[in-house]
Copies of this chain bind each other. A is one copy, B any other.
Amino acid sequence: MTVSELTASAQDYLKMIWSSTEWAEAPITVGAMAERMAVKPSTVSDGIRRLAKQGLVTHAPYGSIELTPAGRAHAVEMVRRHRLLETFLVQILGYGWDEVHDEAEILEHAVSDTMIQRIDEKLGHPTRDPHGDPIPSGNGLPHPPQGDPLTSVEPERTVTITRISDADPDMLRYFTQLGLGPDTRLQVLAHRPYADVTTIRVGDRDVDLGPSAAEAIWVVAN
């Protein structure tokens, strides 16, 4: 079975389950999935049951949700589609990095394997999308995320941004104003715990970031 034969919602569930393990540790819950997909928990519960019946996830009632190897392969393919499409929209159609997420979210269910392949070729087999996220390779090879949230970096360290979550377009526009993007270097000045603020220096400017912003930025030491 190829990923194109799944329903759009099945593709969404699988992608979300997989994505939840890419940057976080804790397994995803029904409630969290429902919130992210803007549906009720009962809907997710139902959907998971259907996926389990197809052998794409394992799930006992009230138990944890895990991808089977088949489910994981489909999930990775969807992530590949999403990130290639985002890259394509930016590089070929001139979209801003803040505009591509929602468009890709729809297109990923509609494009053929052929089209994904041609996009990949046209772009020269890119390895990262406009937000810095790694693009899984076509042959399903393991896929190396790297970096840690900005919130976990010790003060005084200078780091390079590896990825920025694409979930919030407004936040991305704010980051653009600040000159923050993948591969931007910055210095962490301080974490102020009770203010929940992380202060960074980027270029010659000092900026305070709240928790949602600081958690959206992942960095590596350099």
Q: Within 8 Å CB of A89, what residues of B?
A: 115
List which A91-136 residues lie within 8 A (CB) of chain B: 92-95, 99, 103, 106-107, 109-112, 114-115, 118-119, 122
One digit per residue, 1 when the CB lies within 8 angstroms of any chain B CB and 0 when it does not, for chain A 61-93 equals: 000000000000000000000000000010011
Copies in the complex: 2
Nearest-neighbor residue (CB-CB) of A4 within chain B? B106
Q: Are A93 and B119 in contact (CB under 8 A)?
A: yes
A196 to B122, CA, bound (A): 45
Residue from B93, B109, B112, B118 within 8 A of A115 (CB atoms): B93
Q: Mark A184-218, 1 if CB is under 8 A from B, else 0.
A: 00000000000000000000000000000000000
* Distance to closest chain B CB from A126 (angstroms): 15
Ranked 10 nearest A-B pairs via Cβ: A110-B110, A93-B118, A106-B110, A107-B110, A103-B112, A103-B115, A93-B122, A94-B118, A92-B92, A93-B119
Q: Which residues of A pack against B, CB within 8 Å?
A: 89, 92-95, 99, 103, 106-107, 109-112, 114-115, 118-119, 122
